[in-house]
Structure 1
Amino acid sequence: MPYEQNGVEHHSSLLLPSLQDLELDWLRNLTSFVPQNYIVKAPSLKSVKANVCSKVINFPIQQANNQLELTLKETGLSAFKELLCNTKDLVLHNIGDHKNLVPDLVDLEHLDGLTSISINKWSSGECLVDASQIMMNFKCNGQPPKCFLQNLKILRVVDCEKISEIFRIDDGIESNARYLPNLKFVEIRECPSLEYFFPHTSIGGFSHLEEIKLVGLRTLKSIVGENNFLEAPTLKILYIRGCSAFTNFTFHKEFKKCVFLKELFFSMEDTGSEDVNLCDMVNTQLRQKSPDFEYVTLGNFEQLFQLQGGNIISSLEKMELFNVIRLQDIWKGPIHVATNLRELRVRHCNNLTDIFPVMFIPHLPQLSILNIASCENLKQIIGNDDILASSSSSQGPQLEMKMVFPQLKKIELENLSKLESFNPVGYHLEIPCLHSLDIKKCSKMITSFSADYLTLTVHAKTDQASQLNDISPSREDIIWERRRPTLLPQYKEAKEISPFQ
């Protein structure tokens, strides 16, 4: 039948009532799924996959539900724009026909069904959502929308060379809008032009955000611009690696509220300039906000955790720090709660002089793995404080303070040229569950380790006298396993010990 008759466009319907899965694979000359004047009704359709169908320009399929999984690889996006209104999970691979996803396709409100977006190798993409244009052109009841992509939970963007912002937002228009209110997972990898996730912080908080992974973003400055504060009270995993221009990230949480952070990995590789003034400004603003405020500062800060009781790290289970060049203190401030930290790895953090404050040790009942390597200025694993001096003056110089790592199973110390001690002079450390002790290239180490052959508890002591002994045997490499306790000297009962824990 003719496409137009008497100036009126006519369509015929093709009903495919039971079609659930449709896959088009390597159809290089396919231009249309049906003739141009046909509309396909597929009310049961759940999945559409098109792989290497680059010439498709007409794909008029209608469906009744909003649960579609749409996957396009090396296939034009324009022909499938009608399906986006019903798409739940969107996967795009090697798409090159749009600069952004939203304005060129459908009205903003039609994307509310999306729960996951995964984009890989988007050659022409500059931003996922150009909200500056959308907010200007799209209004609901005469007003800009108060939120968009309100059901999106998962966002992945990988290997997109031209993307400079995930969301392009125009100042002054977006202040009352909420962006991605239900977002849970974000993964951005190998996008060399990306500077910010959001250009500024007026987007509001992410009340459901649980995991952030940022990898290989060499121009990324921060997740959000301006003061870089991120409201993410349910954040569990934070992973940042290979972001050489990263200046700072601040995740803060009120002291009296529950915090869920469980894993933290942060690496600053080949970092260049340092924006010290911005760091100082962020720290000052946070300190002024509230005395009961705790926060994590990643980037070129001198402190990592700013504590007012320790609640922000109480759930932390695993942490790895690599090449954090300005870091001088991992923990700063008082702590009053037991932590859940099980694994700690620190490498190439050359401004650190110690890992733990001595008063922090009773709050590490779950620590199981400790791996410290190649920190050139590290002098102590457990830093000293004034508690021993005060106790010695009141109770006599013979008193020792006892510390216990009740669950510590593995210690690895390597290439620490200035490391002098594991624990301070006058402290007696007990490690009852230790399975392996591996100390290599720590030539100045004066702490002596011994094993009780009956209980298999490992003891560590640092004597003042050994500091004057240039031929201390403890400077040799130590490779010890629990099944061979005689590799360490037999522990001999000390004099009087005051329990520290």
Structure 2
Amino acid sequence: MTKKKQRSKVMVPEMRGEASTSMKYLTISNFEELFEYSGYNLSRLKILNLSELTELRLIWSGPIQVENFQNLTQLTVKDCKRLRYIFSSTMARNLPQMSSLDISDCEELEQIIENDQASSQYHLFPNLTLIDIHRCKNLKCLFPVTLAHGGQLSKLYQLNVRRVTKLEQVFKGDEANVSKYEEKVIHLSQLNTMMLDGIPNLVSFSPMGYHFVFQSLRLLQVGVCPNVTTRFRVDSKQSVHAKTQASQSVNKIIVGESATSQETAWPIGSNIWWQNGKEDDSEQVTALPELSEWENEWSNK
């Protein structure tokens, strides 16, 4: 006998109509599809927690009234093992107040935004301040690099990516469309904290031809990313730069810029722990509890 699909229409019928207009916080039980009908009135919903929904495949589907989620500010998704993506492309374009995105232990997650390249032409997440991705082993990138263009992530304050073992790029893009003679500079001027830990397959922070600048960064942690080709450095004004280099040019650039005493540059693929303009040595880096634990675990495989 075929197992009947669990749908959210049998979950909380009182959510329909005026009874739900004051709802600001919602925690949901286990279903395969949520919000696939247009009858819900969740226009005041601000916080949505989805936890241990082992059968959940789709969060948003069907003829959704996107205005119902215009005030959603925080989304937490934990231990939803069958979920393939978080946002449909339509929903991603209609979450203007989204400020916090926390995703962990979603084993089959492949994309944050479904068909993210098609969505990248729109203005998305203008108020996003926190991105925290933890133990999503099938995720290969977070967002298209075009999402960072034009100030779309201008309010991003904290970016944490930990133990996402198949992640290859934080921001992905088509290098063929970028001139090797002209780089694209992207400023994330509000970013304060960036942690990239336990990502052994990470190749780059962004594609070649893109140069990220973080003027307000106060904490940079990069650990167990041995294959990364992005070079991180701090300039004389304490701005942090992330730039992916062609392998044949890496040594030449390091020699040319490392002679500047007011700058700090780290070797490609090295562990980094830098805070408030003070760089810790390698012993202090590996002394960080989470970093050393993951590094030991990975080295024993």
* TM surpasses 0.5: yes
How far did 1:357 drift? 0.6
- Give secondary structure in 1 for the equivalent of 2:268: helix
> Are 2:212 and 2:242, in contact at CA under 8 Å, matched by a contact in 1?
yes
User: Which residue of 2 is the match for residue 383 of structure 1?
Assistant: 172
Aligned AA (1:443): P
Aligned AA (1:250): W
> Are 1:238 and 1:265, in contact at CA under 8 Å, matched by a contact in 2?
yes
User: Which residue of 2 is the match for residue 105 of structure 1?
Assistant: none
Query: Could you tell me which of 216, 227, 230 is aligned with 1:433?
Result: 216
How far did 1:390 drift? 3.5
| Identity over aligned pairs, percent | 22
User: Which residue of 2 is the match for residue 240 of structure 1?
Assistant: 50
How far did 1:253 drift? 4.8
**Cα shift readout 1:53-75 (whole Å, capped 9, x = no counterpart):** xxxxxxxxxxxxxxxxxxxxxxx
CA distance in 2, matches of 1:377, 1:221: 27
> Are 1:239 and 1:266, in contact at CA under 8 Å, matched by a contact in 2?
yes
Query: Could you tell me which of 203, 213, 219 is aligned with 2:27?
Result: 213
Are residues 200 and 438 of structure 1, via their aligned partners in 2, closer, same or farther at CA, if it must alter by over 3 Å?
closer
How far did 1:428 drift? 0.9
User: Which residue of 2 is the match for residue 304 of structure 1?
Assistant: 86
- Give secondary structure in 2 for the equivalent of 1:389: helix
How far did 1:330 drift? 0.6
User: Which residue of 2 is the match for residue 359 of structure 1?
Assistant: 146
Query: Could you tell me which of 260, 266, 289 is aligned with 2:77?
Result: 266
Structure-to-structure mapping, 1:320-469, within 5 angstroms = 320-331=102-113, 332=116, 333=119, 334-337=121-124, 339-362=126-149, 363-385=152-174, 389-392=176-179, 397-453=180-236, 455-465=237-247
> Are 1:446 and 1:467, in contact at CA under 8 Å, matched by a contact in 2?
no
**Cα shift readout 1:357-402 (whole Å, capped 9, x = no counterpart):** 11101310100110001111100111113xx53452xxxx311111
Matched, 1:319 2:106: no
User: Which residue of 1 is the match for residue 294 of structure 2?
Assistant: none
CA distance in 2, matches of 1:337, 1:320: 17
Question: More strand per residue: 1 or 2?
Answer: 1
Are residues 253 and 452 of structure 1, via their aligned partners in 2, closer, same or farther at CA, if it must alter by over 3 Å?
farther
How far did 1:335 drift? 2.0
How far did 1:426 drift? 1.1
CA distance in 1, matches of 2:73, 2:147: 18
Question: More helix per residue: 1 or 2?
Answer: 2
Structure-to-structure mapping, 1:183-198, within 5 angstroms = none
What RMSD in Å do the two structures reach over aligned CA positions?
A: 3.2
How far did 1:207 drift? 3.7
Structure-to-structure mapping, 1:64-83, within 5 angstroms = none
CA distance in 2, matches of 1:342, 1:424: 23
Structure-to-structure mapping, 1:96-111, within 5 angstroms = none
User: Which residue of 1 is the match for residue 255 of structure 2?
Assistant: none
> Are 1:451 and 1:486, in contact at CA under 8 Å, matched by a contact in 2?
no
- Give secondary structure in 2 for the equivalent of 1:212: strand
How far did 1:466 drift? 5.3
**Cα shift readout 1:213-237 (whole Å, capped 9, x = no counterpart):** 24xx6xx225869x57755233210
Are residues 329 and 223 of structure 1, via their aligned partners in 2, closer, same or farther at CA, if it must alter by over 3 Å?
closer
CA distance in 1, matches of 2:27, 2:206: 35
* Unpaired stretches in structure 2, ≥5 consecutive residues: 1-5, 252-265, 282-301
Q: Which has the larger radius of gyration?
A: 1
Aligned AA (1:234): R
Are residues 405 and 467 of structure 1, via their aligned partners in 2, closer, same or farther at CA, if it must alter by over 3 Å?
same
> Are 1:258 and 1:311, in contact at CA under 8 Å, matched by a contact in 2?
no
CA distance in 2, matches of 1:480, 1:418: 22
Structure-to-structure mapping, 1:7-26, within 5 angstroms = none
- Give secondary structure in 1 for the equivalent of 2:202: coil
Aligned AA (2:269): R
Are residues 457 and 463 of structure 1, via their aligned partners in 2, closer, same or farther at CA, if it must alter by over 3 Å?
same
CA distance in 1, matches of 2:245, 2:147: 21
TM-score, length-scaled by structure 1:
0.45
Query: Could you tell me which of 215, 230, 249 is aligned with 2:59?
Result: 249
> Are 1:207 and 1:233, in contact at CA under 8 Å, matched by a contact in 2?
yes
> Are 1:456 and 1:485, in contact at CA under 8 Å, matched by a contact in 2?
no
- Give secondary structure in 2 for the equivalent of 1:360: helix
CA distance in 2, matches of 1:306, 1:434: 31
**Cα shift readout 1:186-232 (whole Å, capped 9, x = no counterpart):** xxxxxxxxx88752687635444321124xx6xx225869x577552
Are residues 329 and 243 of structure 1, via their aligned partners in 2, closer, same or farther at CA, if it must alter by over 3 Å?
closer
- Give secondary structure in 2 for the equivalent of 1:250: coil
**Larger RCO, structure (CA 8 Å, separation 6 or more):** 2
> Are 1:253 and 1:259, in contact at CA under 8 Å, matched by a contact in 2?
no
How far did 1:356 drift? 1.6
